[in-house]
Homo-oligomer: A and B are copies of this chain.
Amino acid sequence: MAEDRVEFDLDAAVQDVERLLNTASAAEALAYIAALHPADQAALVAELDPERRAPLLPRIPREALADILDYLEEEPRRAVVGELDPAVLGPLLDDVDRDVAVDVLRGLAPDRARTTLANMRSAAEVTPLLAFEDKSAGGRATSDFVALQRAWTVEQALGYLRSYKPSAEQVFYLYVIDDERRLGGVVSLRQLVVAGPERRIEELMTPEVVSVHPNEDQEEALRRVQHYNFVALPVVDEERHLVGVVSVDDLMDVAEEEATEDMYRMAGLAEDETLLRPIARSVAPRMSWLLLNLVTAFAAASIVNAFEGTIERAAALAVFMPIIAGMGGNAGIQTITLTVRSIALGEVDVRDALHIVRRELIIGVTNGVTIGLVLGMLAYLWKDNVGLGVVAGSAMLLNMTTAVTVGVLVPLTLRALKLDPALAAGVIVTTFTDVLGFFFFLGLATLMIDRIA
């Protein structure tokens, strides 16, 4: 019976390798690494201390190192590439997946990219992919795919597959092209196996192929693959030339990136921020976000300032200010998170605006009345002041209603303007709930100051 595959324990493997480096030899550490699955090798290499890793890298056989690059995540891959001798990198990139090679080249300084490309046998195949933008469908595409000629017979196609020896992943879909590399259809390997050897590929193929244009956004490729439940998508230019293929494992990374981007944008983080990045690169973007927030905070403060006289007469108002503003903010964040994510998942769009506003308003008013009553009652009991209870409760209801309205309308408006609905979502909604919350609360308090002070 086959060996049960033992679950890979990254922490233990890192310790093992470090122990071997300390007590045995680099050769033994390399033998240990070589026995692992390439995906596990990559995870291990990513975790190793750069000072211990750098001398090991040149001693890993080129094909194994290429596999490791294929599996490495972007951030550690950049670090590993940085530790490699430029003369080694070019030939190495010939052996990695075409889309990974393109990503690596794109991350290099222009000079180094040029030298590396000059050292690559596959430069001619990689260069056209380099022309596409990083986050476009073309930028995610690989040119490692199997294309069959439409005029071939099944036997010719199978013979081609036997000689070409593609990887299992490359033959999920077999794309059919004509003499000018124009995409004409798709067949599956199963169809070839089942069909008679004399049948022609063009008789078997499905002529309608869903594809993506190289300049379309990678998100568009993702959306299409998810919609049709494909595992790969051909990338086709205006003349339907097949320029590459995007595979589902790359698109899975896209899905994660897009979710991360939304979360980060809502919180005002740079979309490529990570806890692994050098501090110096993180300070400036976060600082500029906070400085922008400072401007909006002064907007809220100036409302309070306008009512300073009221607060002077009843300092107890200051106690309830953060409750009104904060609770409105919380309700608004709920609605805006839900709206941003629902747009991202394609569940709702601008056409649903009326329906969603109505829905959230009903929820906002229901919750606003309840929370307003509870707050009003507590304020009255705490401060033994009916006027304060009435003002706090009413301001709470008004602010919650504002919060859900803003929470729906801000992302939908950004979407209608073709901007990212997640853009600064958090700070926009809390600015509204702070400014209006203070205005409602202190404004009502000023009107009823004789009942409060």
Contacts and interface: CB of A to CB of B under 8 A. Distances in A.
Interface of A: 1-5, 11, 37, 39-40, 43, 70-71, 73, 75, 158, 161-162, 165-166, 168-169, 171-173, 178, 182-185, 188-194, 207-211, 226-229, 231, 240, 248-249, 251-252, 255-256, 259-260, 262-264, 266-269, 273-276, 279, 282-283, 286-287, 289-291, 293-294, 297-298, 300-302, 304-305, 308-309, 311-312, 315-323, 325-327, 329-331, 333-334, 337-339, 341-342, 345, 347-348, 351-352, 356, 359, 362-363, 366-367, 370-371, 374-375, 378, 426-427, 430, 434, 438
A337 B374 contact: no
B334 A322 contact: no
Total copies of the chain? 2
Given A193-B158, A267-B337, A341-B264, A301 B319 contact: yes
B301 A374 contact: no
Contact of A322 (B11, B297, B339): B297
Contacts of A266: 337
A5 B227 CA distance: 15
B207 A3 contact: yes
Given A193-B193, A275-B347, A341-B260, A430 B326 contact: yes
A208 B2 contact: yes
Given A282-B363, A322-B304, A374-B294, A229 B5 contact: no
B184 A322 contact: no
A427 B279 CA distance: 26
Contacts of A430: 326, 329
7 contacts: A70-B229, A168-B173, A264-B341, A274-B342, A298-B378, A311-B311, A330-B426
Given A321-B322, A345-B260, A287 B367 contact: yes
A318 B321 contact: yes
A367 B283 contact: yes
Nearest to A310: B315
A208 B5 contact: yes
Contacts of A173: 168
Contact of A312 (B264, B315, B327, B362): B315
Contact of A189 (B193, B286, B318): B193
Nearest to A379: B301
Contact of A359 (B43, B166, B279): B279
A426 B426 CA distance: 11
B248 A226 contact: no
A84 to B, nearest CB: 22
Given A259-B259, A267-B338, A276-B348, 5 more contacts: A1-B178, A3-B208, A73-B347, A255-B256, A298-B378
A2 B175 CA distance: 13
Contact of A188 (B168, B342, B345): B168
A95 to B, nearest CB: 16
A207 B182 CA distance: 40
Given A276-B347, A326-B293, A226 B255 contact: no
A188 B172 CA distance: 10
A275 B359 contact: yes
Given A249-B229, A301-B323, A5 B211 contact: yes
Contact of A347 (B166, B274, B308, B315): B274
Contacts of A333: 267-268, 426
